[in-house]
Structure 1
Amino acid sequence: MTNTQQSPSNTSNDNLRYERGLARLREIDGEGGVKVVESLADIAPDFARLVIEFPFGDIYSRPGLDLRSREIAVVAALTAMGNAAPQLKVHIQGALNVGVTRTEIVETIMQMAVYAGFPAALNGLTAAREVFARAEVATRATATVTATA
């Protein structure tokens, strides 16, 4: 059996995981998250599917934490890693999408200076600044369209 083939007994369960994960991904990241996964389709379609099934279909769908808490944890972890700026930006936007405030995001990133060092926190704040700036541009564009409609 090749990597892209599924055993018949897992197909139904895998499809449920995928659908649940895709719904959760859209809830958190909107179409931006889906575009990230789609960008993997030509090079690693199995990995793209795993990104939806495992983190979003299995972990993010668990009942123990709400999405706000999960996104705060992810922002902290990615900041602490110090080498995941693209993923950090996606999750900062996801945090905003699920109701985490800018202040909470900034405080989470600043907290990482204690545990991951100032360079990691500075990189995280730079990522946050970029995401916040994009959000402001998008908000202004929406307001302009609404005002002219």
Structure 2
Amino acid sequence: MTNETETDRLTRGQAKLAEITGRSGEQVMTALADIAPDFARYIFEFGYGDIYSRPGLDLRTRMLATVAGLVTLGHAERELEVHIGSALNCGATRDEMVETIMQMALYAGFPAALNALFVAKRVFAAREGAPEE
């Protein structure tokens, strides 16, 4: 049993999210404040404070795995967009992102991979300042 408080987990989670995304996550907290403030806290405490902060994988690998998981869901376009950008922030390359998504066609199907490739294309274009097609 650890003596760690929920405040410690929340603080660690917020710091980890900022490291990954470059943003504090206040938008998520604010957006959920009137409907499910505990859910926002769980995202930070468990997701980022506990899981993303574990030492077993580096952030680049964690983000590639996250993108793969989101591709397989086939219905998480908003989250996929955020996590593709986060993977790039954590050192993944565009080629690694495309290969990860293409690999998921075997497990999630071609429509899910195709949709994810279009999300990646938008993220890449936004980062380059190029217009989307």
With structure 1 as the length reference, what TM-score do the two structures score? Answer: 0.81
The answer for the alignment partner of 1:60 in structure 2 is 52
Residues 1-149 of structure 1: pairs in structure 2 closer than 5 A: 13-31=5-23, 33-137=25-129
The answer to whether the 8 A contact 1:24-1:57 is kept is: yes
Give the greater-gyration-radius structure (CA).
1
The answer to whether the 8 A contact 1:26-1:34 is kept is: no
Structure 1 unpaired stretches of 5+: 1-10, 139-149
Shift of 1:32: 7.0
Q: Distance in 2 between matches of 1:114 and 1:93?
A: 23
Aligned residues: 129
CA deviation string 1:113-136 (max 9, x = no partner): 011110010011011011111111
Structure 2 unpaired stretches of 5+: none
The answer for the alignment partner of 1:4 in structure 2 is none
CA deviation string 1:9-41 (max 9, x = no partner): xx9610000000000000001217442343222
Q: CA RMSD in A?
A: 1.9
Cα–Cα, structure 1 residues 32 and 108, in superposed 2: closer, same or farther, change >3 Å?
farther
Percent same amino acid at aligned positions? 59
The answer to whether the 8 A contact 1:33-1:90 is kept is: no
Aligned residue identity for 2:31: S
Whose helix proportion is higher, 1 or 2? 1
